[in-house]
Amino acid sequence: MKLDLLAIAAHPDDVELTCGGTLLKMANKGYRTGILDLTAGEMGTRGTPETRAKEAALAAKILKASWRGNLGIPDSDVQPSRPNKMRLAQMIRDLCPHTVIIPYWDARHPDHYHASTLCYEACFLAGLKQLPLTGEPHRPFKILYATSFEGMPPTFIVDITREYAQRRKAILAYGSQFRPAKSERKQRVFLAIDELDHRMDLLARHHGQLINVKYGEPFLQKEPMAVDDVVALAVRSI
């Protein structure tokens, strides 16, 4: 399986929330897309790993992903350890993605910011010929950071207006998380997930407005962007 685009995140449903519309848009363009969850989300207050696995498979189908996998790292303990980096580097070699979307490096949840470091370093290690891994060395051409949760000024925003309804359908495929029974909603501990559906709608609208469309998903890259035609640049200035 060789992928054009691979999105990696700490938990099932993270990809759907942060870059699901972009994955769907790229799949509709004919690219082979994939999703890699680092954990099964087994520490979540609601649902079970088995339930979330079924929900993740359904969500991947809705987003037309060519592949979805799980690295099996313990939830709440995502660390950029050597064993985790080697396992992820092997996966990068196996899938040979051209572009990889990973979490932004600053986040509320420790798994998310550790995942960012883990993903970047594994992408680098996958290209080392002498590393004791199978397959040919491979290093992704482009690494993008999904910034929807963090509010960082993005490098660019993808118009997902046409994909938005399908993206939301993929998010709501996680019924255990976003459509829990009333008895499950009465928690003593604040659960950010209770606000995510509404919050992600507001964020998608906000980022869409920044590029004069209805819905958008923001991304950050560390290197400058090259432009060939300044006359054809999109988004009106005044």
Residue 46: band (very low, low, confident or very high) from pLDDT cuts 50, 70, 90: confident
Handedness of CA 120, 166, 199, 12 (dihedral sign): negative
Which two tokens mark 71?
């690295």
Higher pLDDT, 192 or 72: 72
Domain span including residue 110 = 5-232
Residue 46 falls within a domain, yes or no? yes
Q: What is the pLDDT of residues 172-217, one digit of tens each?
A: 999 888 876 665 555 544 455 667 778 888 999 999 999 999 999 9
* Residue the block writes with tokens 């992600």: 200
Mean pLDDT to the nearest integer, 43-69: 94
Task: Look at the chain and report how many structural domains it folds into.
Answer: 1
Is 238 a member of any domain? no
Query: Does 151 reside within a domain?
Result: yes
DSSP-assigned states of every residue in 73-118: PPTT-----HHHHHHHHHHHHHH--SEEEEE-S--SSHHHHHHHHH
CA distance 12 to 91: 17
**pLDDT score recorded for residue 232:** 96
Residue in this structure with the two tokens 């008895």, named with its chain if needed: 183
pLDDT at 133: 97
pLDDT higher at 48 or 218: 218
pLDDT average, residue stretch 20-28 = 98
Tokens at 64, concatenated: 């037309």
Kindly state whether residue 112 falls inside one of the protein's structural domains: yes
- Residue 179 has a pLDDT of 74
* Residue 118 within any structural domain of the chain: yes
In degrees, rounded to 5, the angle at the alpha carbon of residue 217 between the alpha carbons of residues 34 and 233 is: 110
CATH number for the domain spanning 49: value is 3.40.50.10320
Q: Is 237 contained in some domain?
A: no
Looking at residue 189, what is its pLDDT? 45
Q: 52 in the Ramachandran plot: left (φ > 0), alpha (ψ -120 to 50) or beta?
A: alpha
CA–CA gap between residue 133 and residue 84 (Å, rounded)? 13
pLDDT of residue 150: 73
- Mean pLDDT estimate for the chain: 92
57-71, 128-142, 148-162, 224-238: which has the minimum mean pLDDT?
A: 148-162
Q: What percent of the chain has pLDDT over 70?
A: 94
